[in-house]
Amino acid sequence: MRDYTPGDETPWLRCRVLAFLDTNYYDDVATIKPRREAGLELVAAVGDQIVGLLDASVTGSESTIETIAVHPDYRRLGIAQRLLNEICDRLQQRGAMQVEAWTRDDEGTLAWYRSQGFEQKMRYLHVYASDPDEAVSAFGSQMDLTPRAGFFHAWIDHEDALRNQFSRVYSCRQFVKSLED
């Protein structure tokens, strides 16, 4: 485990894509690595291959896990837990009192966050109009503009109706962990 360096960008992107491929974030593909505050970007490496990564941000006493991923061939080896422990220590040193993470409906991921001491605080929906029929039925067309797809946030008040209308609806959940001793 070590700090991310700019030379890690391509293997970081590969690890993230492969880690997300079998999750509900499969379509969250990045072609460049988002830049984070120095010192809050960690990678786990085996030789030249990045097999785990964790980026976090800090604002005052609050912090957020921006990205956490483990290459599928290296799961269940404790890599994510070691990355989390290290980042939590660094966040505390910067004055953070809690860390939050946002994730979708993947049962394994939800169970992992709970096992690490996170508690779910809220949830809302990610709604995708994935094809032209869904997009037009939801939003119509006007001025010769026909929607082809769309991504939206929605509160859970109409979850059943949204799940009936759209083929892709995910719960987006906020998990929070205290960093105080």
Structural domain spans, the chain: 1-96, 103-181
CA distance 107 to 166: 21
- pLDDT, residue 162, reads 94
pLDDT in 10s for each residue of the chain, 181 residues: 999 999 999 999 999 999 999 988 888 888 999 887 767 999 999 998 999 999 999 988 889 999 999 999 999 999 999 999 999 999 999 999 999 999 998 899 999 999 999 999 999 999 999 888 888 887 777 777 778 888 889 999 999 999 999 999 999 999 999 998 6
CA distance 5 to 110: 29
CATH class in words for 1-96: alpha beta
- pLDDT, residue 29, reads 86
CA distance 11 to 33: 10
- pLDDT, residue 176, reads 97
Length of the chain: 181
- pLDDT, residue 147, reads 82
- Which tokens sit at 106? 């993947």
- pLDDT, residue 181, reads 64
Decide: pTM greater than 0.75.
yes
